Each structure stands twice: as C-alpha cells, then as structure tokens.
Amino acid sequence: MVCGQDCLNRLLPVVLMNAAGCASVALPAQSRIYQKRAPAECVHRRETGLSLETAAKLSEVMPGAGGRSCLERYEYAKHGACFGFDPDAYFGTMVRLNQEIKESEAGKFLADNYGKTVSRRDFDAAFAKSWGKENVKAVKLTCQGNPAYLTEIQISIKADAINAPLSANSFLPQPHPGNCGKTFVIDKAGY
C-alpha cells in the first residue's frame, strides 16, 4: 500500500492512496466545480461521522470541507474508506501530514514563492533538503494552464510509515514525476 499527501496549502486537498489505485485527486478547480454541484452530489454521499474537533481542524486545511460542498464526504468515500480508516483517523492523518509538509523546506519554499514562477529543480532541491535527494522521486507535481500553475502535489508515503513523523525512510518512488515542466507558477492564494 502507498500513501500520498498533496495538501501543501489550503487549496490542495490531501489524498491518501494505495497501490491498487484506490484514489483520485480533487484539484482546486475540481473542488470549485464540486461545490457548485454539491447539493446533488451530497444526496449520494453519506455523512462521514467526523467529530466536531476533527472537523474544525480539517476546515483549516481543506476549505471545501463541511458546509455545502461535502468535499470531505467525497474524499472519505474515495480514499478513507479504501484504507478502512475511521473518519477521525483518516482526516487526523491528513491534518498532521499537512502540518509536517508545511514545516519542511519544501513547505517553506512554497510559502516563500507564492505568486512567483519557480523551477522544478529548485522545488526538488527544497524537498531533498528535508528528506534526501533519493526521495524527490516520491513527488508528483501536476500543473494546469498557460502559464502552468501548480494545482496538485502528491507525495507517496509507505503504508507502514503513515503514522510516524515523516523521515527519509517514509517515502516511496512514484512512476511518474507529473506534468509540470521546468518552470511553473505557485498560486499566490497561499495557505
């Protein structure tokens, strides 16, 4: 099983996924589309049973959670149920990983460069500074538009490392580095 984390800022929802492909990713644009379709979509998604405490923490890192969007229902049905996590454990892990990434050199790099065009090489260097050059292959970056805006970050984490603090031994290489070219823009919306 492989777990990934792509919630480096408030616009990018976290995704936990396994090697069987039990995941898809909601990009920021998809999140907005999902919010527009929310009433019909919510009818088909059961409540997660998330505690109020976890829901409050989640809303800080996933603005589309709760309310009309029911993004947390979508994410849990698509990813959390796949793992067999209860909702509080699943979203608690998302929030913790989000914070660990934000506090890393890669997270600081993103925060320092909101609204700017950056190179993949510089992003990879920031990630390597935290967890080693060999672990850069665990990162998949997805961009959209012209100019290319970074819309998604997936970081593959070994299943047996998901409940421990991130370390150089936590990561698993991904088969594809993503579609971002040599340079891309980090949206200035920020955390």
Instruction: Flag whether 191 is in a domain.
Output: no
Instruction: Flag whether 75 is in a domain.
Output: yes
CATH code of the domain containing 133: 3.90.730.10
Q: pLDDT at residue 133 above 80?
A: yes
Instruction: Flag whether 65 is in a domain.
Output: yes
Dist CA 66 CA 144 (whole Å): 26
- Omega before 147 cis (within 30°)? yes
Domain count, the chain: 1
Provide the mean pLDDT of the chain: 75
Q: pLDDT at residue 68 above 60?
A: yes
* Model pLDDT, residue 111: 93
Q: pLDDT at residue 140 above 90?
A: yes
Which pTM was predicted? 0.69
Instruction: Flag whether 16 is in a domain.
Output: yes
Whole domain around residue 76: which residue ranges? 2-185
Polymer length in residues for the chain: 191
- Count CB atoms within 10 A of the CB of residue 46: 11
Residue 176: phi, psi to the nearest 5?
Answer: -140, 135
Instruction: Flag whether 100 is in a domain.
Output: yes
Instruction: Flag whether 190 is in a domain.
Output: no
Instruction: Flag whether 53 is in a domain.
Output: yes
pLDDT band at 85 (very low <50, low <70, confident <90, very high): confident
Instruction: Flag whether 159 is in a domain.
Output: yes
